[in-house]
């Protein structure tokens, strides 16, 4: 049984979740693990020197639990899928199992990055990112100044660290249409991993 782990990483509001939902709906025998599901409770999130709760740093996430979840999938993808409410597609190639990891700091954790068969990374420029972020409704609303004072600086810092660590990524322009982004990634996955013998 072949196990393929696809990372969908990148900037906040860059289109990661939208792309992931479409891939999960069309790729056979696929499951997803969202990094956002591993945020620590709000009372465990520190306030940084910038005056903001540090949601956009890796210590705000329980990365050990996320790695353990991915490891559980690697050990038994079929059991993992069943326990997460996904049934196997009868018409699909049962020899290939796909896990999609989606999150904003996937590749800043060396172990998680190394577990990925391929790493896609969505980027959008500052102005577009700020526009999209301001249009989102979060459970805990962004306090004034958070984007410029914390979110964007942390994104730049983590992107730089990721590049410095030598993690190999496939960069995707998040300004492309949703259909173009999906088509590009889906076609790449199918051609490289599903159509190969």
Provide the annotated active-site residues. 36
Spatial distance between the Cα atoms of 149 and 49, rounded to a whole number of angstroms? 10
Strands 170-173, 96-103: parallel, antiparallel or unpaired by DSSP?
unpaired
Assess contact for 47 and 53: CB atoms under 8 A: yes
Short-list 34, 12, 39, CA closest to 23: 34
Contact (Cβ atoms closer than 8 angstroms) between residue 171 and residue 8:
no
b/e per residue, 132-151, with b = 16+ CB within 10 A? bbeeeeeeeebeeebbeebb
Nearest to 69 by CA among 139, 16, 5, 162: 5
Q: How far is CA 33 from CA 17, 115, 156, in A?
A: 11, 13, 24
């Amino acid at each position: 049984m072949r196990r393929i782990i696809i990372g969908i990483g990148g900037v906040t509001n860059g289109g990661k979740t939208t792309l992931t939902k479409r891939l999960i709906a069309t790729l056979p025998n696929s499951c997803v693990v969202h990094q956002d599901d591993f945020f620590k409770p709000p009372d465990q999130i520190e306030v940084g020197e910038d005056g903001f709760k540090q949601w956009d740093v890796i210590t705000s996430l329980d990365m050990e639990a996320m790695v353990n979840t991915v490891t559980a999938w690697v050990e038994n993808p079929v059991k993992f899928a069943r326990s997460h409410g996904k049934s196997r597609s009868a018409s699909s190639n049962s020899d290939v199992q796909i896990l999609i990891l989606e999150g904003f700091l996937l590749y800043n954790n060396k172990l998680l990055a190394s577990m990925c068969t391929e790493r896609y990374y969505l980027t959008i420029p500052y102005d577009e990112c700020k526009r999209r972020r301001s249009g989102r409704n979060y459970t805990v609303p962004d306090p004034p100044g958070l984007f410029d004072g914390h979110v964007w600086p942390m994104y730049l810092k983590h992107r730089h660290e990721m590049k410095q660590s030598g993690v190999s990524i496939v960069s995707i322009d998040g300004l492309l249409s949703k259909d173009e982004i999906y088509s590009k990634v889906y076609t790449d996955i199918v051609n490289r991993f599903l159509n190969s013998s």
